[in-house]
Amino acid sequence: MDVLVPFAATEPKTRLAGVLRPDERAAFARAMLEDVCGTVAEAGGSPTVLSTADLDCEWPVVVDDRLLTPAVNDRLDPPVAVVMADLALSTPAALSRLFGADGDVVIAPGLGGGTNALVVRHPDFSTDYHGVSVADHRRIAEAIGATVTEIDSFRLSVDIDEPEDLVELALHGDGPAAAWLEDAPVGVGTDATGGRATVTRG
Amino acid sequence: MDVLVPFAATEPKTRLAGVLRPDERAAFARAMLEDVCGTVAEAGGSPTVLSTADLDCEWPVVVDDRLLTPAVNDRLDPPVAVVMADLALSTPAALSRLFGADGDVVIAPGLGGGTNALVVRHPDFSTDYHGVSVADHRRIAEAIGATVTEIDSFRLSVDIDEPEDLVELALHGDGPAAAWLEDAPVGVGTDATGGRATVTRG
């Protein structure tokens, strides 16, 4: 299956500013992109990086500097998948479940209402990544009479966007992005409240 | 399968204090408990509520006011499962995957290093819910030579503990707990930053 992997090439991962410097964020975003494209290929997909700027990369790259939604919609030629470049917890098994699931539209929801991965088999479907996109994508599918399947995957639900997501990568990742993080100056721990683990720059 | 459902009966869900009043938190915790026990039963499990205080409930209840770890370990008679009472996104399908997975120890990781659900088939395994429990449980299993399987489930990874978890319940839940939340004075939305959706008291 053709798989678009959208990538923000300029100042990526600004929400990680509290724990990673700009050069580290850029390197980390690249490590995640390579990781995700490799995992897509292992799962039998053919990745194309949809980048906001030119990129030296081992995978095919197309450049489109528009916002995510129009850039994706212009290339939504079914059957096609869209897999975010920061799904560093994704595994071949998780992506195989996505690619292999039945349905005109297959959605892997992301934390906080996102759509982290998507398979589109219906010619009239279009994306809307602005706002609570999982709800928008359900509505768009319903409006065109497309069947929707949702994939229940923790590994596809965590896009590495906020500092707390680094906890998930440190605890559950095993690819190049997790290896990059292991060498980075951040540590994972819990405080005395018994809540979720957090990361700190050490 | 016998399934322990640990429940903190006194002042539950204090981390939701920013959006729910104490009486609302107590009612919501009860709605989630009933929801989870019902889902466990639909998945073929026999739930027993392991409560910190006496409780009027349609399911069997045992009371143990100690901390979670010793209370669970005293009742860890394999094969047995432990499913947290705040897994309000759990479905019969997700719990069936958990109960049906092979392995001496089956773990459904929670966000932030937690262990949201567990199946124990090895007589020497014991739990340690303090700290980053998923890492501890992997270590404990390894030390006794027990095989570990991890379940990749978004629905089992989200325990409803922090205000942002209510977003997941509002967007993905369809049981009694989600119905309770729908009637509660909280709303889900996104701000202009394009980040994850949040809840606000409206």
pLDDT in tens, B138-161: 999 999 999 999 999 999 999 999
**Domain A2-161: which CATH number of 3.20.20.140, 3.40.50.200, 3.90.550.10, 3.40.50.280:** 3.90.550.10
A135 at B interface, C-beta within 8 A: yes
| Distance to chain A for B60, nearest Cα, Å | 28
Closest CA to B75 of B51, B93, B96: B51
Q: What is the pLDDT, as a whole number, of residue B195? A: 84
- Residues in chain B with CB shorter than 8 Å from the CB of A134 are 171
Residue A77 neighbours by CB distance under 10 Å:
10
Interface-testing mutation among B84, B115, B151, B154, with chain A (most A C-beta atoms within 10 A)? B154
What would the two tokens of residue A112 be?
Answer: 């906080």
**Domain B2-162: which CATH number of 3.90.550.10, 3.40.50.150, 3.20.20.140, 3.10.180.10:** 3.90.550.10
Q: What is the pLDDT, as a whole number, of residue A191? A: 77
The burial of A2, by beta-carbon neighbours within 10 Å (0-12 exposed, 13-18 middle, 19 or more buried), is given as middle
Q: What is the pLDDT, as a whole number, of residue A192? A: 67
* DSSP letter string, A107-171: EEEEGGGEEEEEEE--TT-----SSSHHHHHHHHHHHTT--EEE---HHHH--S-SHHHHHHHHH
Distance (Å) of CA B143 to CA A105, B122, B137: 44, 12, 10
Interface-testing mutation among B111, B158, B159, with chain A (most A C-beta atoms within 10 A)? B111
| Helix, strand or coil, per DSSP, at residue A199 | strand
Residues B6, A184: Cα–Cα separation, whole Å: 37
Q: What is the pLDDT, as a whole number, of residue B192? A: 67
What would the two tokens of residue B145 be?
Answer: 């030579």
Q: Per-residue confidence of chain A (202 residues) as pLDDT tens digits? A: 999 999 999 999 999 999 999 999 999 999 999 999 999 999 999 999 999 999 999 999 999 999 999 999 999 999 999 999 999 999 999 999 999 999 999 999 999 999 999 999 999 999 999 999 999 999 999 999 999 999 999 999 999 999 999 999 999 999 999 999 999 999 888 776 778 999 998 7
Distance (Å) of CA A101 to CA A80, A108, A123, A129, A170: 13, 11, 17, 22, 28
Distance (Å) of CA B61 to CA A102, A105, B88: 41, 43, 19
Q: Which residue of B has its CA nearest to A156?
A: B154
Of B135, B153, B164, the CB nearest to A154: B153
| Distance to chain A for B132, nearest Cα, Å | 7
- Residues in chain B with CB shorter than 8 Å from the CB of A190 are 113, 131-132
* DSSP letter string, chain B: -EEEEEE--SS--GGGTTTS-HHHHHHHHHHHHHHHHHHHHHTT-EEEEEESS----SS-EEE--S-HHHHHHTT--SSEEEE-TT-TT--HHHHHHHHH--SSEEEEEEGGGEEEEEEE--TT-----SSSHHHHHHHHHHHTT--EEE---HHHH--S-SHHHHHHHHHH--SHHHHHHHHSSEEEE--TT----EEEE-
Q: What is the pLDDT, as a whole number, of residue B113? A: 96
Of A112, A154, A196, the CB nearest to B196: A112
- Residues in chain A with CB shorter than 8 Å from the CB of B91 are 152
Q: What is the pLDDT, as a whole number, of residue A73? A: 98
pLDDT along chain B (202 residues), means of 10: 97 94 96 98 98 96 98 98 98 98 98 97 97 96 98 98 96 95 89 83 80
What is the ipTM score, two decimals? Answer: 0.96
Helix (H) or strand (E) holding A43: none
Domains in chain A: boundaries: 2-161
| Distance to chain B for A198, nearest Cα, Å | 7
Q: What is the pLDDT, as a whole number, of residue A193? A: 72
B136 at A interface, C-beta within 8 A: no
Residues 81-100 of A with CB under 8 A from B: 91, 93-94
